[in-house]
Chain A
């Protein structure tokens, strides 16, 4: 686990000169800003984390907290294409297997995309091309990175479809996306993402559009494949249940920043940020005795153009006035170490937070 880099580089300038990290994936002070007519949208504003191979990182947060923008940033999709560079301003560092991606040549990143890092998108119907057969789309992904003939690629596609549990893969390889059900489409997309055995797999809400029984199948599949290929997985979701089942580590995002990071165990049992408490209190628990009332977070998520000053969560935080001198409204809290590998960005003293959690929040959940 690394400390936050405090490079303070201006947005748009790649940071140079830092040494390569030891972790497989390391993101340092990532910022993704979008200039718009209404102002600068700071979708991701200083995010750092690292991930080892074979481990799963869960990123949770509400819509607009910057989860998906982060994942697209890692894949280099914000700067790809003709207009990309003008649309997004990215800074920071992304290290994958010893290579820095943000400062790298887009052609090199393109060669890595699909082979070393791949993505499963939320909505398979819009992520798959309706005009090409499933097999065609999988073989394309394979042939871009491997110098093989069509026949070999087709064989590989059938093999992958079989691996993700599509019945009669040798026939279904010629089907079109509309001929598949939602669960099968998601499987096909997983097959496509995994065709080159990527070392980093990013799953952006992979099961949100699916029913629970299908969700269980897909999560199981991702777990199996991770075991088989030893990939690092980033699981982006708003469903704390999914994260609890899948993730080794958790990163809670709010307003484009990380507010809490730690092992799943720590974040669920000793959460150190009022927003995390809010998320846990908002969720009806199927595994507990029924609670009379949920404890929601008041208000709505902030606008990313005009984030509240100080701590972005302060207008919704019931404890914002506990730290002295209105510091929550003036100063942005840094991500600080709470315990080994557990970080939280909150102005409250650690004893105070622990007390509130154990005495006020935990008994009500």
Chain B
């Protein structure tokens, strides 16, 4: 897919290497990435604690693919996006882009790389400067990077506007004259103006209406084919993520708990959290309302990232948690081809700690496994029995 570079009529010098390299060479390599936000208190502003937003992420992004990152709010997925685009300074770990270590590059040294790594933001209302025309906004990357495209900036910008489904006449208009979907297209045009290699999109469609969402998803798809882009798409909507991604990372409290190909992840989720997450998605099919055999309802909320649980971070809400889960953190290891999981007692795979079988008392209350029909029939009781899910 990445070799498909038709439509590259513009000459930008730093364009070729990644696309000629083999697919085996990752475009982005992240190793043990950590970001802690300090919490300071008192007159001397001493650090008393830290929000462990991202705590040890290791993954690769291969050229031409789309990596989807999914998780609940507060799991650190947006922080991760801002770290790999280096809008935030990592606390620890290493980020490599095309073999270059960019972990601690300063603003100046980072600037040439900004051409290759771009970001699409969630909110199309606050990410466009209301006082600038669309031409200025989409043309800004050329000015900042000192790029002089063939035929002039204006012509290139207008081509870009056309490519994202806007009209070249929109060049002199202001953001307020556009609808949400159109603004998101402007944001996309700006991100893609310099033909980046890696585009990080943080919830690119969640602020948009359903019909518009589909337009933007299709647009991102087309542009990837046309321009040979690599995407990291961050979203909380599991249906959208399934539609756009090749591989998917599931995050929980600052860690990747599962990383797998799209098909494997949705067909055979291994981490209990992934399973619960998938079973919670409402299915747009009224006939399936009663047919869906079980739904795992997680109790309670995600714990605070200031003081995350020891061991496996999911053990406080997991229905399979045993003693080992409270003390030993499960490593993210491949349990099937291209399917990495961090769990002692995974679903759809061999138990990693078979000797430890005694369930924690909390585990018994952690979830409610319900058949939706049976639930509607039975008398509502304040303490529904928690069933153990058999593997």
CB-based contact B282/A279 at 8 Å? no
Query: Bound state CA distance, A289 and B319, in angstroms?
Result: 29
Residues of chain B within 8 A of A220, CB atoms compared? 297, 370, 375
**Interface residues in chain A, defined as those with a beta carbon under 8 Å from any beta carbon in chain B:** 62-63, 162-163, 167, 181-184, 211-217, 219-220, 223-224, 227-228, 238-245, 247, 264-265, 268-269, 278-287, 290-291, 293-298, 300-301
What 16 new A-B contacts, CB under 8 Å, besides A238-B209, A244-B282? A212-B281, A213-B276, A215-B280, A238-B210, A241-B282, A241-B284, A269-B287, A280-B284, A284-B242, A286-B238, A286-B283, A294-B243, A297-B211, A298-B215, A300-B181, A300-B212
On whether A211 and B73 interact (CB within 8 A), knowing A223-B376, A241-B281, A283-B239, the answer reads: yes
On whether A62 and B295 interact (CB within 8 A), knowing A184-B301, A244-B289, A245-B282, the answer reads: no
On whether A282 and B280 interact (CB within 8 A), knowing A228-B380, A265-B287, the answer reads: no
Is B240 among interface residues, defined by CB-CB distance under 8 A?
yes
Q: Nearest chain A CB to B239's CB is how many angstroms away? A: 4
Query: Bound state CA distance, A295 and B215, in angstroms?
Result: 8
Query: Bound state CA distance, A316 and B255, in angstroms?
Result: 43
CB-based contact A285/B286 at 8 Å? no
Residues of chain A within 8 A of B278, CB atoms compared? 286
Query: Bound state CA distance, A300 and B184, in angstroms?
Result: 13
Residues 222 to 246 of chain B near chain A (Cβ within 8 Å): 236, 238-240, 242-243
Query: Bound state CA distance, A302 and B304, in angstroms?
Result: 43
Quick one: CB contact mask for B243-287 with A, threshold 8 Å, 1 for yes? 100000000000000000010001000000000111111111111
Query: Bound state CA distance, A282 and B382, in angstroms?
Result: 39
Nearest-neighbor residue (CB-CB) of B370 within chain A = A220
CB-based contact B289/A245 at 8 Å? yes
Q: Nearest chain B CB to A177's CB is how many angstroms away? A: 15
Q: Nearest chain B CB to A335's CB is how many angstroms away? A: 21
Which of A241, A264, A269 has a CB less than 8 Å from the CB of B283? A241
CB-based contact B380/A224 at 8 Å? yes
Q: Return the 8 tightest CB-CB contacts between A and B, nearest first.
A: A241-B282, A296-B214, A282-B214, A284-B243, A297-B211, A294-B214, A216-B280, A211-B72
Residues of chain B within 8 A of A63, CB atoms compared? 209
CB-based contact B211/A212 at 8 Å? no
Residues of chain B within 8 A of A291, CB atoms compared? 243
Residues of chain A within 8 A of B73, CB atoms compared? 182, 211
CB-based contact B289/A240 at 8 Å? no
Nearest-neighbor residue (CB-CB) of A293 within chain B = B218
Q: Nearest chain A CB to B17's CB is how many angstroms away? A: 30
Query: Bound state CA distance, A1 and B3, in angstroms?
Result: 59
On whether A287 and B288 interact (CB within 8 A), knowing A181-B301, A238-B210, A279-B210, the answer reads: yes
CB-based contact A301/B209 at 8 Å? yes
CB-based contact A268/B284 at 8 Å? yes
Interface majority SS on B: helix, strand, loop or mixed?
helix
CB-based contact B297/A217 at 8 Å? yes
CB-based contact B218/A264 at 8 Å? no
Is B329 among interface residues, defined by CB-CB distance under 8 A?
no
Is B12 among interface residues, defined by CB-CB distance under 8 A?
no
Contacts between chains A and B (CB distance < 8 A), count? 141
Residues of chain A within 8 A of B279, CB atoms compared? 216
Nearest-neighbor residue (CB-CB) of B377 within chain A = A227
CB-based contact B211/A278 at 8 Å? yes
CB-based contact B218/A62 at 8 Å? no
Residues of chain B within 8 A of A217, CB atoms compared? 297-299
Q: Nearest chain B CB to A120's CB is how many angstroms away? A: 17
On whether A213 and B298 interact (CB within 8 A), knowing A264-B286, A301-B209, the answer reads: yes
Residues 108 to 142 of chain B near chain A (Cβ within 8 Å): none
Is B221 among interface residues, defined by CB-CB distance under 8 A?
yes
Residues of chain B within 8 A of A238, CB atoms compared? 209-210
CB-based contact A286/B281 at 8 Å? yes
CB-based contact B239/A213 at 8 Å? no
Residues of chain A within 8 A of B372, CB atoms compared? 245
Give 9 A-B contacts (CB < 8 Å), ordered by A residue.
Answer: A62-B210, A62-B211, A216-B280, A219-B282, A220-B375, A245-B283, A279-B211, A284-B217, A293-B221
Which of B214, B243, B277 has a CB less than 8 Å from the CB of A212? B277
CB-based contact A244/B221 at 8 Å? no
CB-based contact B210/A240 at 8 Å? yes
Residues 357 to 391 of chain B near chain A (Cβ within 8 Å): 370, 372, 375-376, 380, 382
Is B179 among interface residues, defined by CB-CB distance under 8 A?
yes
Q: Nearest chain B CB to A311's CB is how many angstroms away? A: 16
CB-based contact A282/B72 at 8 Å? no
Residues of chain B within 8 A of A239, CB atoms compared? 282
Q: Nearest chain A CB to B141's CB is how many angstroms away? A: 26
Residues of chain A within 8 A of B215, CB atoms compared? 296-298
Which of B72, B210, B213, B380 has a CB less than 8 Å from the CB of A213? B72
Residues 285 to 328 of chain B near chain A (Cβ within 8 Å): 285-289, 295, 297-301
Q: Nearest chain A CB to B231's CB is how many angstroms away? A: 16
CB-based contact A227/B236 at 8 Å? no
Query: Bound state CA distance, A227 and B209, in angstroms?
Result: 31
Query: Bound state CA distance, A84 and B189, in angstroms?
Result: 42
Query: Bound state CA distance, A204 and B210, in angstroms?
Result: 17
Residues of chain A within 8 A of B285, CB atoms compared? 244, 268, 287
Which of A162, A211, A240, A283 has a CB less than 8 Å from the CB of B214? A283
CB-based contact A283/B182 at 8 Å? no
Residues of chain B within 8 A of A294, CB atoms compared? 214, 217-218, 243
Residues 146 to 203 of chain B near chain A (Cβ within 8 Å): 179, 181-182
On whether A290 and B221 interact (CB within 8 A), knowing A211-B72, A216-B280, A217-B297, the answer reads: no
Q: Nearest chain A CB to B303's CB is how many angstroms away? A: 10
Residues of chain A within 8 A of B238, CB atoms compared? 212, 286
CB-based contact A283/B284 at 8 Å? yes
Query: Bound state CA distance, A181 and B376, in angstroms?
Result: 27
CB-based contact B297/A295 at 8 Å? no
CB-based contact B239/A286 at 8 Å? yes
Residues of chain A within 8 A of B370, CB atoms compared? 220
Query: Bound state CA distance, A74 and B238, in angstroms?
Result: 34
On whether A287 and B284 interact (CB within 8 A), knowing A220-B375, A245-B289, the answer reads: yes
Q: Which of B181, B211, B299 has the most CB of A within 10 A?
A: B211
